[in-house]
Each structure stands twice: as C-alpha cells, then as structure tokens.
Amino acid sequence: MQVKATVPITVADIKSACSQCNLLELCLPFGMSETEISRLDELVGTRRKIKRQQHLYRAGDPFEAIYAIRIGWFKTDVVLEDGREQVTGFQMTGEMLGLDGISTETHSCNAVALEDSEVCVIAYDKLEELSRVVLGLQHQFHKVMSREIVRDHGVMMLLGSMRAEERLAAFLLNLSQRLTARGFSPAEFHLRMTRDEIGSYLGLKLETVSRAFSKFQEEGIIAVQQKHVRIVDIDKLHKLIQHPVALR
Amino acid sequence: MQVKATVPITVADIKSACSQCNLLELCLPFGMSETEISRLDELVGTRRKIKRQQHLYRAGDPFEAIYAIRIGWFKTDVVLEDGREQVTGFQMTGEMLGLDGISTETHSCNAVALEDSEVCVIAYDKLEELSRVVLGLQHQFHKVMSREIVRDHGVMMLLGSMRAEERLAAFLLNLSQRLTARGFSPAEFHLRMTRDEIGSYLGLKLETVSRAFSKFQEEGIIAVQQKHVRIVDIDKLHKLIQHPVALR
DNA sequence: TTTCGTGGTTGACGTGGATCAACGGAGGGC
DNA sequence: GCCCTCCGTTGATCCACGTCAACCACGAAA
C-alpha cells in the first residue's frame, strides 16, 4: 500500500473529516465559510463502511445520527406488511441519509448499500448543538431537508402523472445531472441498481423498465448493455418529458 | 367544521399568537415548555386570510416565510410545462406550509386555499434566529420537516405500489386520523377537495375515484353523498390495505 | 472448464384504470 | 324564483402496463 507523498496520516486527518474532504461543495458544508467548516470537524465522529447489500439502518431502528455518503450508493425503501416494497430514493456521494428518523426518533425506512460504501456518521444531538452556533450549518441543514421535500414532490409528479417512458427518461436525466455535478460523465455511467429496483422506484414492473430501455435504444436515444448506459441523444430524452408522446 | 363561540378579539390576541392559540399540540409549539412558547409570540408577525381558490404562494415566488394553518384547508401542487398537475398534499389546521421554499429560496409548488382560510406568517429568518436560542423550537421545527419527508414516502408507496381502491382507502383513513387528532369525528366529514383533486393526489382519474367511492358504498364500507363522507366500517377499510383484494 | 444462480430481455396475453360520452344534481349569482 | 356552471356518477370501450413464461447473458464457485 503506498501513501501519497510523505504526509504522515495522523489522528487529526481521520477525525477532521469535513475540512479535508473533497466533497465540500456537494455535502452538508456547502456554502459555509472556511472557519465554519473547520468547526464541523468535531461533528463527524466516525466513519462507517457498509458492504454491498447490507443495511445502514432499518425501519424501526432508533434514530441517533444522520449520514453523509462519502463513497458508494444506497437505496432507501419502505415495506408494507404484505411485503410490497417501494424504493423511495437512490442516494450517491455527498447526499444525506437518515433524515426520516428525526420526526419519530425512529427510522421509518431502510437504507441499503448498492455497492461497498462508506458514510460519515453525524450524531444528531451534536448537529443540533453545533447548528446553534455555526450559522451556516443551521441554514445548510435546513436546505438539505427542504431539498429532500422538493425532490419527493418531483417523484410524486413522476409517479402520479407520467407514463412509463417519461418516468424512465426523467430518471436517467436526473442521474446524469447528479453525476455531472460530481465530475463524472453526464452521458455514460453504470447503474448500481437492478431493473427491479428501478421499477420499484418508478412504480413500474421490471419488464416494463426493460422494455422502455430497449425502446430508447431502438430509437437511438441511449445505448444500454445490462447496467451500462450511454446517453446518445439527451435532447430527445428531454423532449420525451416536455412533449409526451400522446397529447392528452 | 364548526366554529367555536365568538370571543372578542383584542390586540393581544392577535399579536400573542402561539401562547394563546388552541392549536398548541398540533402546531409548531408542540412539545415545548410554557416559557419557550411565550418566546414564540414574537415569531408570528402577521396573520393572513386567504379566500377559497386563492393562492397563498405560487411556484417561483421568492421564499420569505413558512405558514401555519390556523383555519381552513389547502392543497399544494406542482405543474409541468405541458399543464399536467400533481397535487402533492392536502393540509389542514395546525399543519405547516412553505417548507419547500427553503432549499432554493424560491417556492417550488403552489399552495391554494380549498376554503376561506387563515394562516400565521412565520418569517423564516426570525425562525432561524429564534431556533438558535429556543431549543425546543429548533428541535420541533426539524421534526416538522422530517415528518413531511416521512409523509412523502408514504405517498410514494401509495402511488407506486397500491391499486386504486387501496389508495382511496389509505386516503380516507389518513383524513380520519388527522381529523380525530383535531377533535373532529373520525367517521364523518366533509371533503374540501373535488374528485379531480383527490384523483390528482392519488394518481388516478376522477372517474376512477368516483367509481371507488361508489364501490365502497355498495360494500357498506362508507356512505357518500357528494363531498359528505361517513365511514361505516373502518375495519374493512383497514383490511383493504393490509389484505389487498388480489394476492400478488 | 462446467454448473449454478441472479438478473435482463422478449413475446403472448390479460386486465385495471384511462378515455370518451351522456346525464344528473348541487349551489351560487342574479 | 331561475339559470348556469361546476361537479359527480355511470356506462361502453380502449390501451398501457402487468402477468406469465421462456430464454439468454454474465459472473462466481467448484
């Protein structure tokens, strides 16, 4: 194992998460001043590695912390008594998990790693405490929660008012946009989730998702092979949503 | 909804909103101490009356305040460029509106009064400021936002995984439960929204909503007449969700 | 290398809810 | 009072997506 240059790894490095982290502009510290961010370092107590398919938390677990994803992908889902599962979101680097737990002090959904991942553990009581003194933190945390609410409304729109192909188009555009913000290619990526999980998220059956992928491919909009997707014609993708196939 | 006896309105009543308000245990001050609540009175600057069908705010409006409903009913919705509308929620007395605006400092949805209504205007900068010193306020505000996220996940479940009759059953049970919490009859109420609006919320067409109402009536689960609903057999309503008609 | 299991694709067919259409009833405005 | 508009109901028909089933691709384990 080689270490970059000759900087010794100290306890400080491990502890001082935020100020050293390259996810600044994607994560909770976004928009905060340098001095504010340096105060955040006391916030992230631990990091936690989660292997693929393992739970970060489960519905019913007592709520203690929220999590910022450092590396990897997660899905969150809720499950009905009869076993029906609804995926409520896919989260990637820099995004927050666990906000659902604040309301009842118990998590109300499951968070599962889609690949080997790592999260920063942010003790909630510490966050409340610190956000009383670090103004930027309070503000940014509220924004993060609000953004989640807005995102959820978008998903409702998708589930309540769009047809299968529009939903998939919206899904792909959303992924592309979030990957771009993280410096990845906007046009080419690997899906971390199965067709079944995409279907659950989009309110469709996996066969319908698969057929929509194939249709897009036939029409020269994307190139798919299993989990690998390349967006060939992003305009067409946009138009699919703006001008639905059937005028209704 | 019945109106409480007519108490003369004084200036004190108007200014000292929270400590005098009978919505304490439903609204933002929930769980706060008496001294904490008395500090909230400086928070609610104004009240605002909104007539039926009028907007409290519109998508695109600059965000300045959140709102607590004192009297009345609202719906929130998002509208796509092509005109498709998705109702994202129905809000009643004691519930909060405007949380969507925090993330971008611009409202992302419309809030429309379903009947003549009145809200408490809570300036957001004041809220942030005060929640730094009043611990209970900070905590409660976070809970309110988190609860909204959890509620949204429930709607996703509904839209993504339930069939038409289950959706309507879940909707009616949810209304019943919220009305009960406000001291109204759990079994008999007036809907403030049209079939079309219910349909938009539930991801169904108004005809489907109407048919589901009729079906429930035939089966002796409810009695409906236009907007008046009486739940006759609440157990059957619960079972409709727990044991969906078709085993799948 | 083969086998096995999981995940993805594709076709044939069924159906729940959308669409189209006609009508009836309630309530507000005058 | 009457009109007019909006809203709700119900029936007939259609179609987007679900269901069922067969098969294929890929990666891990043996």
Chain C: bases < 7 Å from a protein Cβ: 7-12, 16-21, 26-27
Tell if A195 CB is < 7 Å from nucleic strand C.
yes
Beta carbons of A161 and B84 less than 8 Å apart = yes
Do A202 and A162 meet the contact criterion of CB atoms below 8 Å apart?
A: no
Task: Note the pLDDT of residue A67.
Answer: 96
pLDDT digits (tens, 9 = 90+) for B137-193: 999 999 999 999 999 999 999 999 999 999 999 999 999 999 999 999 999 999 999
Tell if A196 CB is < 7 Å from nucleic strand C.
yes
Closest protein residue to C25 using CA and C1' atoms?
B226
* CA B79 / C1′ D10 distance in Å: 30
Task: Note the pLDDT of residue B248.
Answer: 31
Which nucleotide, over all strands, has the C1' atom closest to the CA of A194? C7
- The yes-or-no verdict on residue B132 having pLDDT over 80 is yes
- The yes-or-no verdict on residue A11 having pLDDT over 60 is no
pLDDT digits (tens, 9 = 90+) for B13-39: 455 568 888 887 788 888 888 888 888
Share the mean pLDDT of chain A: 90
Residue A165 Cα, gap to closest chain B Cα (Å)? 15
Residue B27, CA atoms < 13 Å, CB-side half-sphere:
26
Task: Note the pLDDT of residue B35.
Answer: 86
Q: Which residues pair with B69 in a beta bridge?
A: B119
- The yes-or-no verdict on residue A26 having pLDDT over 90 is no
pLDDT above 70 coverage of chain B, percent: 91
Task: Note the pLDDT of residue A245.
Answer: 56
What six digits make up the tokens of B228? 């008046």
Task: Note the pLDDT of residue B83.
Answer: 87
* A156 contacts on B by Cβ (under 8 Å): 78, 86, 88, 152, 155-156, 159
- Please compute Rg for chain A using Cα positions: 20
Which nucleotide, over all strands, has the C1' atom closest to the CA of A208? D17
Which nucleotide, over all strands, has the C1' atom closest to the CA of A196? C7
Q: Give the C-alpha distances (Å, rounded to integers) separating B148 from A75, B102, B129, B238.
A: 19, 14, 22, 23
| Closest A-chain CA to B148 | A149
- The yes-or-no verdict on residue B109 having pLDDT over 50 is yes
Task: Note the pLDDT of residue A97.
Answer: 97
- The yes-or-no verdict on residue B51 having pLDDT over 60 is yes
Tell if B210 CB is < 7 Å from nucleic strand D.
yes
Task: Note the pLDDT of residue B148.
Answer: 97
CB count in 10 Å sphere of residue B211? 15
| Closest B-chain CA to A156 | B156
Amino acid at B69: I
- The yes-or-no verdict on residue B9 having pLDDT over 50 is no
Q: Whose structure tokens read 């138009």?
A: A239
Q: Give the C-alpha distances (Å, rounded to integers) separating B144 from A15, A115, A135, B110, B139.
A: 31, 32, 20, 19, 9
- The yes-or-no verdict on residue A42 having pLDDT over 60 is yes
* CA B206 / C1′ C26 distance in Å: 18
Beta carbons of A146 and B102 less than 8 Å apart = yes
- The yes-or-no verdict on residue A22 having pLDDT over 50 is yes
d(CA B241, CA B164): 11
pLDDT digits (tens, 9 = 90+) for A192-242: 999 999 999 999 999 999 999 999 999 999 999 989 999 999 999 999 998
- Tell me the whole-structure pTM to 2 decimals: 0.92
Task: Note the pLDDT of residue A244.
Answer: 62
pLDDT digits (tens, 9 = 90+) for A65-88: 999 999 999 999 999 988 899 999
Beta carbons of A145 and B102 less than 8 Å apart = yes
- The yes-or-no verdict on residue A247 having pLDDT over 70 is no
- The yes-or-no verdict on residue B99 having pLDDT over 60 is yes
Amino acid at A47: R
- The yes-or-no verdict on residue A7 having pLDDT over 50 is no
Closest by Cβ to B153, choosing from A78, A138, A150: A78
B95 touches chain A (CB under 8 A): no
Q: Residue B247's pLDDT band (boundaries 50, 70, 90)? A: very low
What six digits make up the tokens of A190? 């690997």
- The yes-or-no verdict on residue A141 having pLDDT over 80 is yes
pLDDT digits (tens, 9 = 90+) for A50-69: 999 999 999 999 999 999 99
A11 touches chain B (CB under 8 A): no
The DSSP output letter for A108 is -
The DSSP output letter for B101 is G
Question: What's the whole-number mean pLDDT along residues A120-136?
Answer: 93
Nearest to A191 by CA among A75, A44, A80, A104: A75
Task: Note the pLDDT of residue B7.
Answer: 46
Look at B42-51, B65-74, B125-134, B238-247 and tell me which has the smallest mean pLDDT. B238-247
A238 touches chain B (CB under 8 A): no
pLDDT digits (tens, 9 = 90+) for A143-192: 999 999 999 999 999 999 999 999 999 999 999 999 999 999 999 999 99
Do B246 and B204 meet the contact criterion of CB atoms below 8 Å apart?
A: no
* CA B198 / C1′ C23 distance in Å: 22
* A153 contacts on B by Cβ (under 8 Å): 78, 86, 88, 100, 108-109, 152
| Closest A-chain CA to B77 | A153
